[in-house]
Structures are given as C-alpha cells and as structure tokens.
Structure 1
C-alpha cells in the first residue's frame, strides 16, 4: 500500500466505502462504472491512464471476507470481478521458457491449473497467500501448445517451466469463487 494512502487512512479513518464503481473485467482491464453502467449492468469504461492504473494495482487488496478492493486514499472502493481477482497472461520468453504475469505485471507462480465447464483456464497459487487467476482468452493457444489435453479438454497436464508438469483439473465455474474464497460482487454482499 502506498504511503500516501496509509497517511490518508490515519487522517480520515471513517470514510464510508463504496461498491459498484470499479470493475476488473475478464481480460484484466480496470473499468469505471458510472450510475448508468451500474444500472444497465454493463462493464463500464476502461481506465487507460497509466499512473492511475499503477496506483490501483499497488493498492489492490483483499479484506477478511474475501472481497477485493482498491484503497483510494481513505476510501475503500470494492471491486466487481468479471471472474477472478487476478487475470494472467501466458508469455513465451525469448529463451522459450514460459512466464505468467498478472494484470499488475507481477509474476504469478502456479501450483495448479484448472479448466472450467465454460472453457476458461485458471491458474492457482496455493502457497501461503493463495491466489487464483483466469488466463486471458488471447493466450489459450499458447496454453494449448504447452498442454497435453484429453478429449474432454478438461483433463490432462500443462507443461510448465523447468520440466514441471501440472495436472489439469476440471472445475465448475459456479464453484470457483467459493472454492478460492473470494466474493465476485461485493455490492451484493453489502
């Protein structure tokens, strides 16, 4: 969390939080959702300002109930999730090795890979701070190039780096949030 955010929280500790105004879409884009977007259920307008995107990414956290938020100074802005709290891109490095980068540009080291019943691929990091991320749909071909899939496309294995093979596990999309302990729509929980 940025120091300026910590200072604002200390100065104004009781600023009410808000919901519905910020969304992380299925492709890892941050979107502003005004009243009209919220009323129509649309995703809103993509945020393109690099400094603002950096600020959001540095101050993006999870609360004790599994709701993700952006700490905007003293105000907590809860995030509507298009699917998972993280979206990753699968990159083939110049030396041929694979890398996963989340929407903030940070490395994502998976310990599990899953395929949902709607065709999405998810990576999970089940370390001390577990995370789950959906693979950007533009990278499905790269994934397929490094996977040995069964006919059902829901099982098989993914050939990760350094010779590590991760078993591909099926999951129902409807079960992902509860399985990984996050709330996709904090507004519905308010």
Structure 2
C-alpha cells in the first residue's frame, strides 16, 4: 500500500466505505460506475451478465490504474477493495479478484510465467480449474484468478505440456470455494 494512503487513513480514520462505484472485468480492466450507471443495475458477472452499459466507463489513465493496482487487496470476508486514501472502495468482480496474464518463461522451454492484471507476479501455480464455459482458472501463491482470454493459447500449451491439469468446476461455485465475493455490499 502506498505511503500516502497509509498517512491519509491515519489522518481521516472514519471515512465511510464506498460500494458499487468500481468494477473489474474478466479481462483485468477497471470500470468506474457513476450513479447513472449504477441505476442500470449491478456490475455484470459471468453468471449474471447484465446490460453492457451497466459496466460504466473503462479507466484508461495509466497512473490511476497503477495506483489502484498498488492499493488493491481483500478484507477478512473476501471482499476486494481499492484503498483510495482514507476511503475503502469495494470492487465488483465480473469473474475473480485476479485476472492472469501469461508470458513465456525464458528459463524453461514451454513454461509460462503468470502475472496478475496489477502487474504482480502470481508465484507458483498450485492448481488449475476449467468451468462449464471452457474458462481456465489458476490458483496460485497470490490467489485465485481467471486466465485472460487473450492468453488462452499459452495456457493451452501449458496444459498440453502437462504443466497444468485442470479440474472441473462450476463458475458459480468459485467464490465460495476460493473465498471471494463478486458483489460486495455493506
């Protein structure tokens, strides 16, 4: 967490939490949801896709995205949030709290390095999971997440090479199984 955020939390300890204003999609993009957008319904999820307009406005400012990524974490109840100075902004998740991006690992042939949408290294892959729609999830040292659909060709190569052996799972069961909340509420 950024030092400036820690100082703001100490200076203003009683700022109310914020819900419904920030979403993370299945590609690892952040979405800002103003009051008009929230009136269209909840942030779409894999299991309850709503209108596309309910996503809001996709964030594109590189420094803001980096700031959110550095200050992104979960509370004890598995609700993910962005600590924005003294205010905790809970994140609505389309899929999972982490979206994995894959790169070829230069240290080994046919190996894959896993990185979170925030740029953080995921560490070792502990298990792989495949849902009813063919989406691939990885449980890593960092946590549980969905592989970005743009990286499925690298993921397929890792599976074919025997590096990962996906187990079946229903998408709707992933939050309970891996301890996260897709739509946090107060």
TM range (shorter): 0.7 to 0.9
Whole-angstrom CA distance in 2 between matches of 1:45 and 1:93: 34
Aligned to 1:110: 125
Aligned to 2:167: 169
After the TM superposition, list the runs of 4 or more consecutive aligned residues in structure 1 that deviate by more than 3 angstroms: 93-97
More strand by share: 1
Question: Number of paired residues?
Answer: 171
Structure 1 residues 134-188: Cα deviation after superposition (integer angstroms, max 9, x where no partner): 001111122222323xxxxxxxxx63xxxxx33211101110000000110003x
Aligned to 1:74: 86
Whole-angstrom CA distance in 2 between matches of 1:94 and 1:66: 34
Whole-angstrom CA distance in 2 between matches of 1:173 and 1:60: 23
Question: Displacement, 1:73?
Answer: 0.5
Structure 1 residues 16-58: Cα deviation after superposition (integer angstroms, max 9, x where no partner): 0010000111100011011122121311111111111111011
TM-score relative to the length of structure 2: 0.86
TM-score relative to the length of structure 1: 0.84
Contact 2:127-2:164 at 8 Å conserved across structures? yes
Contact 2:112-2:154 at 8 Å conserved across structures? no
CA RMSD of aligned residues (A): 1.5
SS in 2 for 1:105: coil
SS in 1 for 2:36: helix
Whole-angstrom CA distance in 1 between matches of 2:73 and 2:105: 29
Would you say 1:27 and 2:27 are equivalent positions? Answer: yes
Whole-angstrom CA distance in 2 between matches of 1:27 and 1:171: 20
Structure 1 residue runs of 5 or longer lacking an equivalent are 149-157, 160-164
Q: Relative contact order, CA 8 A, sep 6+: which one is greater?
A: 2
Higher mean C-alpha displacement, 37-46 vs 80-89 = 37-46
Whole-angstrom CA distance in 2 between matches of 1:112 and 1:146: 12
